[in-house]
């Protein structure tokens, strides 16, 4: 059996398949760490209310001890398992310190310690889950099944993973391509924004490359598979995200070594403080009191609070102003950024094509409005982004247009319609018969300037060239200027779009380092090359094609309003309102938070050193030790909370700007009406 691509009935390749069941993310509440942390926090709050309200001591003691059980059993068990493997875990040390605090009557201190550690564990579990969800969600882009064509022309539905190099598959309109390959027959436009980031679908002809997970438009394509399922671009994206996540996890090894040494020193010191005085005849209770006092004053509550309040306050303030920073570690990383890299489409631009120019050709007597009216009539029935852009431009110009008598989609070429008895055709200029004529000259000029050009025919005669461009986001040039003033190196543009469009946009916003035509793995290579040059890179992107680079960068920042779910999950921070101006502001806020952290650590370390020395050398009264310990905690906590004020964001937003200085006139934003 043979199947004619243009005229034969086209059976729905998915009709014989069960509905695809996409990966569903489980609720954060399903994580046991989150449930236990919330339970511990609620019990701690209830105990505090009862204690302050003058309730019987047995009641608030019971609530605090229940907090111990809810928040402490899991880190305690983990610590015991580590101890069995001859490793001293800081979790076990904190649980022991909390129990010691309760043993000498300071149950509030111990409960606070438990809540801090339980919350930290819950946040770590949530971050791990989101990373796993992001990687698994990437696989939903590629269809589970494909329509394979045999040598005899028969079509069979097969698993996409079973496709071998050399197989021929059929991809019908509206279907996602199930394998990387080469078009061998048919024509159409393919939306490959998920891979390259290009804002417009790309015309595909025999000999052109296509990627798994991209969306076929109006044409029917026959594709020869060139890569197995394990080596497609999407599969490599998954592998790169997993690799980047594992690399980040290894950076925690140094912290773990410090924790183990600190834990060992504290345990040895506490045991020594309890045991040695007994040899000198000191009473057991007095020796225990000194040891427990040491464990209280040496516990890292003040150090934890020295670090967390400024970072958490900065996170809260940034969140109120449109930036979701996912963790305190991310806020620390933002403070150390030395270079910012931007994706183009959907990041520095709005991600939607707009009509930038209408260029009537010589010999055309029609006005621009008349040409736009005819074009809108022809494109009114099209779902192509180009068609929507033309109709939107006519609507903004307050034009009205007649309904086309007929409409025909020409895969890989454009559309043809009958309007008021005239044939109107709009499409790709690739098949221009006269490569030396006026139409070709205008098309070449527009494409060289970074526009996408389409040709309009009226009754088979070329009458106009329409130029499309992706509109630059408001304030993009100012943001680039501010980042130039703030960071060690100027911003860089990393895009999968063509060099002409990339260089045009870069010139308008003031970026001089442009790297265009990049596939996802090439973006990762560019980020790594920048970071190998001692830069700490923040990458700003929005699409699936940006996901590996977002995961690999020192900080990944996603545009939240129209960003893909995968980009939002993988990124470390999300610009929820798509306001580019918040990027330099949040970096400035993170730097101020870092300065407060340093100041707080000095205060906390000074208090701990003085109290520990006092307890070791002299006789530190327990009430004074608790007062000093809690006093340092309150001081550093209040100092960090200063960043909760709106004035902190206003100060960060006032970072120096050099907008307009040193830019050539051609580099300023152009306004197209």
Q: Smallest Cα–Cα separation from 355: which of 397, 416, 409?
A: 397
Considering Cα of 498, then 503, then 508, then 511, what sign does the dihedral take?
Answer: positive
Q: Encoding tokens for residue 143?
A: 């269809």
Q: Which residue is catalytic, options 109, 180, 343, 615?
A: 343
In the residue annotation, 343 being an active-site residue is answered as: yes
R_g of the chain computed on alpha carbons? 32
Considering Cα of 340, then 341, then 344, then 347, what sign does the dihedral take?
Answer: negative
The rounded distance, in Å, linking the Cα atoms of 388 and 55 is 68
Q: Are 424 and 375 in contact (CB under 8 A)?
A: yes
Task: Collapse the DSSP code of 108 into the 3-class scheme (helix H, G, I; strand E, B; otherwise coil) and give the result.
Answer: helix
Phi, psi of 214 (to 5 degrees): -85, 160
The rounded distance, in Å, linking the Cα atoms of 117 and 388 is 53
DSSP bridge pairs for 422: 419
Q: Are 465 and 442 in contact (CB under 8 A)?
A: yes
Tell me the DSSP string of 419-454: ETTEEEEEE-GGG-S-TTSHHHHHHHHHHHTT-EEE
Would you give the DSSP letter of residue 345?
I
Contacts of residues 148-157 at CB distance under 8 Å and 24 or more positions apart, as own/partner, are: 149/3, 149/222, 152/1, 153/1, 153/2, 153/3, 154/1, 155/3, 155/11, 155/13, 157/13, 157/16, 157/17
Residue 414: which H helix or E strand, with range? Answer: strand 414-419
User: Which of the residues are catalytic?
Assistant: 343
């Amino acid at each position: 059996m043979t199947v004619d691509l243009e005229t034969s009935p086209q059976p729905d390749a998915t009709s014989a398949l069960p509905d695809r069941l996409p990966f569903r993310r489980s609720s954060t509440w399903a994580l046991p760490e989150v449930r236990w942390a919330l339970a511990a926090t609620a019990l701690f709050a209830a105990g505090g209310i009862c204690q302050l309200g003058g309730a019987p001591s047995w009641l608030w003691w019971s609530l605090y001890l229940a907090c111990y059980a809810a928040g402490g059993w899991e880190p305690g068990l983990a610590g015991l398992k580590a101890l069995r493997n001859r490793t001293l875990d800081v979790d076990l040390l904190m649980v022991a310190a909390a129990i010691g605090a309760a043993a000498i009557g300071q149950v509030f201190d111990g409960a606070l310690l438990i809540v801090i550690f339980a919350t930290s564990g819950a946040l770590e579990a949530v971050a791990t889950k989101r990373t796993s969800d992001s990687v698994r969600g990437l696989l939903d882009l590629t269809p589970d099944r494909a329509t394979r064509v045999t040598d005899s022309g028969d079509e069979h539905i097969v698993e996409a993973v079973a496709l071998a190099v050399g197989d021929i598959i059929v991809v019908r309109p509206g279907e996602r391509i199930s394998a990387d390959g080469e078009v061998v027959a048919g024509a159409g436009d393919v939306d490959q924004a998920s891979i390259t980031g290009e804002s417009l679908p790309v015309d595909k002809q025999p000999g052109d490359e296509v990627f798994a997970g991209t969306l076929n438009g109006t044409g029917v394509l026959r594709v020869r598979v060139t890569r197995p399922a394990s080596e497609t671009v999407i599969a490599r994206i998954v592998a790169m995200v997993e690799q980047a996540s594992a690399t980040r996890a290894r950076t925690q090894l140094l912290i773990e070594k410090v924790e183990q040494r600190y834990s060992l020193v504290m345990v040895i010191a506490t045991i020594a403080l309890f045991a040695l005085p007994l040899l000198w005849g000191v009473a057991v209770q007095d020796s225990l009191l000194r040891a427990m006092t040491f464990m209280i004053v040496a516990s890292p509550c003040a150090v934890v609070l020295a670090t967390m309040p400024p970072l958490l306050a900065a996170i809260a303030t940034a969140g109120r102003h449109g930036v979701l920073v996912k963790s305190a570690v991310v806020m620390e990383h933002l403070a150390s950024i030395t270079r910012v890299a931007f994706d183009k489409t959907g990041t520095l631009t709005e991600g939607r094509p707009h009509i930038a120019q209408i260029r009537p050709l010589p010999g055309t007597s029609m006005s621009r409005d008349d040409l736009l009216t005819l074009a809108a009539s022809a494109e009114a029935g099209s779902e192509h982004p180009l068609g929507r852009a033309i109709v939107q431009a006519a609507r903004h110009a307050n034009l009205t247009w007649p309904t086309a008598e007929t409409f025909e989609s020409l895969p890989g070429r454009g559309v043809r319609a009958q309007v008021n008895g005239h044939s109107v055709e709009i499409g790709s200029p690739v098949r221009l018969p006269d490569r030396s004529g006026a139409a070709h000259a205008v098309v070449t000029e527009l494409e060289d300037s970074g526009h996408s050009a389409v040709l309009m025919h009226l009754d088979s005669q070329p009458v106009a060239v329409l130029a499309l461009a992706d509109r630059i986001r408001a304030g993009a040039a100012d943001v680039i200027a501010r980042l130039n003033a703030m960071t060690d190196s100027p911003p860089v543009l990393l895009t999968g779009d063509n060099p002409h469009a990339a260089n045009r946009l870069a010139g308008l916003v003031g970026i001089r380092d442009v790297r265009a035509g990049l596939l996802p793995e090439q973006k990762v290579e560019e980020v790594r090359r920048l970071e190998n040059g001692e830069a700490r890179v923040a990458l700003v992107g929005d699409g699936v094609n940006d996901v590996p680079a977002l995961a690999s960068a020192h900080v990944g920042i996603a545009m939240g309003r129209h960003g893909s779910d995968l980009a939002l999950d993988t990124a470390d921070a999300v610009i929820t309102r798509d306001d580019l101006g918040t990027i330099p502001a949040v970096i400035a806020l993170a730097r101020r938070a870092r300065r407060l952290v340093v100041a707080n650590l000095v205060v906390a370390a000074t208090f701990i050193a003085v109290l520990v020395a006092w307890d070791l050398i002299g006789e530190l009264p327990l009430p004074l030790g608790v007062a000093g310990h809690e006093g340092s905690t309150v001081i550093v906590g209040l100092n960090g909370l200063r960043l909760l004020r709106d004035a902190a964001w206003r100060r960060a937003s006032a970072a120096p700007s050099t907008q307009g200085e040193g830019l050539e006139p051609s580099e300023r934003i152009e306004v197209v009406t």
